[in-house]
Chain A
Amino acid sequence: MITITVNGKAVEIEGEMSVERLLDTVEVPPNYLAVELNSDVVPREDYSAVTVHAGDEVEVVTLVGGG
């Protein structure tokens, strides 16, 4: 198991994995999301190629109501 930070919270995952596999834990359609890995946006086309390592900081965001 490795520990990463997702949206500010420490999360344990099985091991290093792709962003795509990490997002399999999420129910919302992937095109409602954007992902940032260590402060850089990960384009959706790269989800399968980009790997999350121990200690990485991941942000997963969506759109909400706002003005």
Chain B
Amino acid sequence: MSIASDQDPTATDVDQPALRVGHHTLGSRLIVGTGRYDTMEQMRDSLQASGADCVTVAVRREKLYERGGQNILDFIDLDRYTLLPNTAGCYTAADAIRAAKLGREILRTLGNPGSDWVKLEVLGDSKTLLPDPAETVTACRELTAEGFQVLCYTSDCPVTAQRLKQAGAASVMPAGSPIGSGQGLLNPNNLRIILEYLKEDDPDYPVIIDAGVGTASDVSQAFELGGDAVLLNTAIAHARDPVRMATAMRHAAIAGRNAFLAGRIPKRLYGTASSPSEGVISTRPYGSQASS
């Protein structure tokens, strides 16, 4: 089943300037991963349903002498999607830099505009998949010097986020929770602090919430906090119905972004009536307390 984004009358995007990340302009504020799908066809249909125009891919050794499998590039429309190569699975700055350069070379030969950027991910722990901050900062600095626009996966630590911006990151991408965990945004306060710090005197600096999304409300929450975009993969790929979840994520992004732009009301301890207090058909004074 395929739900085409352009056939859905509710899929109106938010009236706002497009998101700029480095030299790139994104129409959709969802960036989706391409891993963990049951089939390439399911991935292709889910990408379409998500409405994303940027998708991330990993760099891996080619199985040269035992081929016969499908190549993912046969299922991604390179005229439609900007690829974002990532360094997923790297544990040192040196390996991440190698992966970034190899990804750039593939995209260059494909003629895809994504050849000048990279999602930098340098892991520090295989169980939590939390990033190694020191290696990430080192790799970010070197890749920026090599001309890459670096989108940096990091934890929700505000200090590390500042270090990465100082190291030249085109975007800092704090995790909501561990990669693939589906726990949502575990520390919204830290994300708020990151957004405040990185956007201070630089309101257009893009902060992308990356990793940990479990369901649509997590995406909306990320945008309501002020995140500029959300990057997710497993929440779609491992949903019971990935195409439908991709559709939900697209709507959640639009809803959350609109809610952020519209401005939520402050939370109050007591109720405030929506209906006028004048003219109520009652013998009881409108503002009286239940106990009186």
| A interface residue numbers (CB < 8 A to B) | 6-8, 25-28, 30-36, 39, 41, 43-44, 59-67
Q: Are A8 and B61 in contact (CB under 8 A)?
A: yes
Q: Which residues of B lie under 8 Å from residue A31 when comparing CB positions?
A: 106, 109-110
Q: What is the distance, in angstroms, from B150's C-beta to the closest C-beta of chain A? A: 17
Stretch with Cβ within 8 A of A (4 or more), from B18-26, B66-74, B184-192, B245-253: B66-74
Contact call A66/B58, Cβ cutoff below 8 A:
yes
A35 to B104 alpha-carbon distance, docked (Å): 11
B57 engages A63 (CB within 8 Å): yes
B interface residues, how many (CB within 8 angstroms) = 43
- In the complex the two chains form, is A67's CB within 8 Å of B105's CB? no
Q: Compute the total of residue contacts between A and B using a CB distance below 8 Å.
A: 114
Are A6's CB and B64's CB within 8 A? yes
B85:A67 contact, CB within 8 angstroms = no
Given contacts A32-B106, A39-B98, contact A60 B56 (CB under 8 A): no
Shortest C-beta distance, A9 to chain B (Å), equals 9
Task: Scan B51-93; emit 1 where CB is below 8 A from any A CB, else 0.
Answer: 0000011111110110100011100000000010110110000
Partner of A63, one of B33, B36, B85, B233: B85
| Residues of A contacting B: mostly | mixed
Q: A26 to B231, alpha carbons, bound, how many Å?
A: 33
Most chain A beta-carbon neighbours within 10 Å: one of B33, B64, B86, B211: B64
- Whether B165 is near chain A, meaning CB under 8 Å from some CB there, is no
A sample of 30 inter-chain contacts (CB < 8 A) reads: A7-B64, A26-B64, A27-B67, A30-B109, A32-B73, A32-B106, A34-B109, A41-B102, A41-B105, A60-B61, A60-B64, A61-B60, A61-B99, A62-B71, A62-B106, A63-B57, A63-B58, A63-B60, A63-B73, A63-B106, A64-B72, A65-B33, A66-B34, A66-B57, A66-B58, A66-B60, A66-B88, A66-B233, A67-B34, A67-B36
Question: Is the CB–CB distance between A44 and B102 below 8 Å?
Answer: no
In chain B, residues 33-51, which have Cβ atoms closer than 8 Å to a Cβ of chain A? Answer: 33-37, 43
Cβ-defined contact, A67 with B64, below 8 A: no
Tell me if B168 counts as interface (CB < 8 A to partner A): no
Taking CB atoms, residues of chain A closer than 8 Å to B32 are 67
Closest A residue to B109 using CB positions? A31
Say yes or no for B232: interface residue by CB 8 A criterion. yes
* B225 at interface, CB cutoff 8 A: no
Interface check B227, CB cutoff 8 A: no
Instruction: Report the separation of the CA atoms of residues A27 and B74 in the bound assembly, to the nearest whole angstrom.
Output: 14
Quick one: given A36-B102, A44-B105, A59-B102, are A67 and B59 in contact (CB under 8 Å)? no
Residue B133 lies at the interface, judged by CB distance under 8 Å to chain A: no
Whether B101 sits at the interface, judged by CB under 8 Å, is: yes
Which 8 residue pairs are nearest across A and B when measured between Cβ atoms?
A67-B33, A66-B58, A67-B233, A34-B105, A65-B35, A65-B34, A34-B102, A66-B35
Given contact pairs A60-B62, A66-B35, A66-B88, A43 touches B72 in the complex (Cβ within 8 A):
no
Contacts of A65 in B (CB 8 A): 33-37, 43, 57-58, 72
In the complex, the answer to whether A59 meets B233 with C-beta atoms within 8 Å is no
Query: Closest Cβ of chain A: how far from B42's Cβ, in Å?
Result: 11
Residues of A within 8 A of B233 (CB): 66-67
B206 within 8 A of A: no
Instruction: Tell me the complex Cα distance, A15–B65, Å.
Output: 19
